[in-house]
Structure 1
Amino acid sequence: MTRNPLAQTALGPAVLAAIEHNEPPARRLVDDDLAAAFLPAPGRWLIGATRSALLRRLVIAAMDRSGPGLWANLTCRKQFVADKLDEALDDIDTVVILGAGLDTRPYRLARRSRIPVFEVDLPVNIARKSAAVRRALGQSPRSVRLVALDFERDDVLTALAEYGYRTDYRAFFIWEGVTQYLTEPAVRATLEGLRPVAPGSRLVFTYVRRDFIDGINLYGTPALYRRTRQRRQLWHFGLQPEEVAEFLAGYGWRLIEQVGPEQLVQRYIEPTGRNLTASQIEWSGYAEKT
């Protein structure tokens, strides 16, 4: 498989979700029983090893040293997405995952709903996902469609239409862990391309703070800044929490809720009794099409 730097970033969140599944149920920040099966062989070996509580703690501690608080953010944001999807499920006609990576959500959702799900990602990630699904499940559920595109060049709705998406669908769009990897023109073009979606559609998304992207405030994570902004130039786009509502309104979306690290800790971490902090760098939001 081609070692595309952006494509490689799809592995990290899946590894975290799989490791979290090794926690006792009452301590899990996200519950994903398929994540390990979707990983390549080395990843599955690591997940097996982290059934040991000691090794699991060491892996989580190492992750937090490289990016303090990011373990909590990356796992809790998945549960935030899950909560919002569960709340909206009776009011929507389809789910669209923008930048699906190795997310197993469509396949877990298919166990309880026939709602169509469109997984959108780079061609290399779609090829990897297709192979992972065949290996883990044998075949894909009929409700799931894999759509290859490049957010920097392609129109989302045009690509989706080729796989049966209709603009009168009330859609639930998931844009998790993606926007920071795109240029600002690509983020704006994606939102502009979604203007025709039906009123009542929902958008749950994450973003990185722009003051981190610009190097103004590193929030105690200089190593993460060097890795994502200086050495590999992976992250490009950011927003400030106070400007998100106006930014979305310019494309026809009404911000319903926004959660930062304090809310993630209170909502998801404290009930487990675990001693984890969340990073200020990444925030999550939820909006409705007006």
Structure 2
Amino acid sequence: MLHGVGVTALGVAMVRALESEREDRLFDDPYARAFLEALPGVFPAPDTVSGPMAWLGAAFSASGVLRTRFFDDYLLGAGLSQVVLLAAGLDTRAYRLAWPPGTRVFEVDLPGVLEFKDSVLASAAPRCERTAVPADLRGPWTRELAAAGFSPDEPAAWLAEGLLVYLAAEEVAGLFTGIGELSAPGSVLSFETGGRLLDRAGRVPGMRAVRELWKGGIEDPAGWLAGHGWEVRFHPAAAYSLSVGRPLEAEGDEGFVVASPSPPACGPSSP
């Protein structure tokens, strides 16, 4: 039911389930535990792991919690009626966030991932108009999104959470190009940056299967966007973690990018 990159989505669901059980939780995902119960035993319980894997699990968990909260706030704060979750995985924002009336959320991911999610959440009701869009983001995908009802004439909030590292540089460039072509003025795009954890994870025994899925992304995604007509803002992870009361040690390049297409230059005035 889940394989390859799809399995990593189950790991993120575990992170969100554990955070939701804390009294001081930064968000509440009441659906995350259901994914783990549907596929038990894929990941060991955190209290049964030791050594480098225990450190890595704790580090990924802290990072995953922080990015979940940041992107929750980003999507609701954007105030846009079109939302596109690229490589949505087992994200349940369509079900758990308090969306304004009229919001349409498009979830783009591989067919198997979406089928598994829909089977687990069959009895749950989304809090917006949710549309699943089966597509492979490594190839052409904009046609599928448009066919699902996405309007390129209206601004949209795009999210590429936990995605870029699984793509090669040319695939990231293609993804960004497609987003740009579909982004009306007022649109926004967000994703996380920084590879410290990935670098250290690559050296931990037992991570070979996951490491082989990483394609490296693009060296400077924010710079690529800036060079292709986007206005880019960077939010350092360390500073943001302090603002939500969950301090996190992070390198200077670790954080969150929020970008928007630059408005077209004004032409000469009419005589």
Q: 2:77 aligns with which of 87, 110, 113?
A: 87
**1:171 and 1:111 mapped to 2: Cα distance?**
14
Q: Residue 279 and residue 162 in structure 1: after superposition, are their counterparts in 2 closer, same or farther (change >3 A)?
A: same
What corresponds to 1:183 in structure 2? 168
Query: What are the superposed Cα offsets for residues 254-279 of structure 1, whole Å, 9 maximum, x if unpaired?
Result: 1123323x2243123xx25x7x6457
Cα pair 2:236 2:252 within 8 Å, conserved: no
Query: What are the superposed Cα offsets for residues 33-58 of structure 1, whole Å, 9 maximum, x if unpaired?
Result: 222234443559x99xxxxxxx8777
Where does 1:25-104 land on structure 2 (aligned, <5 Å)?
A: 27-43=24-40, 64-67=54-57, 69-89=59-79, 92-104=80-92
Q: Residue 133 and residue 61 in structure 1: after superposition, are their counterparts in 2 closer, same or farther (change >3 A)?
A: farther
TM-score (structure 2 length as normaliser): 0.81
Residue 284, structure 1, aligned to residue 269, structure 2:
no
Determine which structure has the larger helix proportion and give its number.
1
Where does 1:122-133 land on structure 2 (aligned, <5 Å)?
A: 122-133=110-121
Q: CA RMSD in A?
A: 3.4
**2:68 and 2:74 mapped to 1: Cα distance?**
10
Structure 1: gaps (5+ residues) = 48-54
Work out the percentage of aligned pairs sharing the same amino acid: 31
- Between 1:245-254 and 1:277-286, the stretch displaced more is 277-286
Q: Residue 232 and residue 154 in structure 1: after superposition, are their counterparts in 2 closer, same or farther (change >3 A)?
A: same
Residue 249, structure 1, aligned to residue 222, structure 2:
no
1:144 Cα shift? 0.3
1:222 Cα shift? 2.3
Residue 6, structure 1, aligned to residue 8, structure 2:
no
SS of alignment partner, residue 108 of structure 2: strand
Cα pair 1:73 1:279 within 8 Å, conserved: no
Residue 167, structure 1, aligned to residue 152, structure 2:
yes
Structure 2: gaps (5+ residues) = 263-271
**1:250 and 1:83 mapped to 2: Cα distance?**
27
**2:51 and 2:68 mapped to 1: Cα distance?**
20
**2:91 and 2:71 mapped to 1: Cα distance?**
12
**2:151 and 2:120 mapped to 1: Cα distance?**
27
Report the count of equivalent residues: 261
SS of alignment partner, residue 19 of structure 1: helix
Residue 148, structure 1, aligned to residue 148, structure 2:
no
SS of alignment partner, residue 72 of structure 1: helix
What corresponds to 1:207 in structure 2? 193
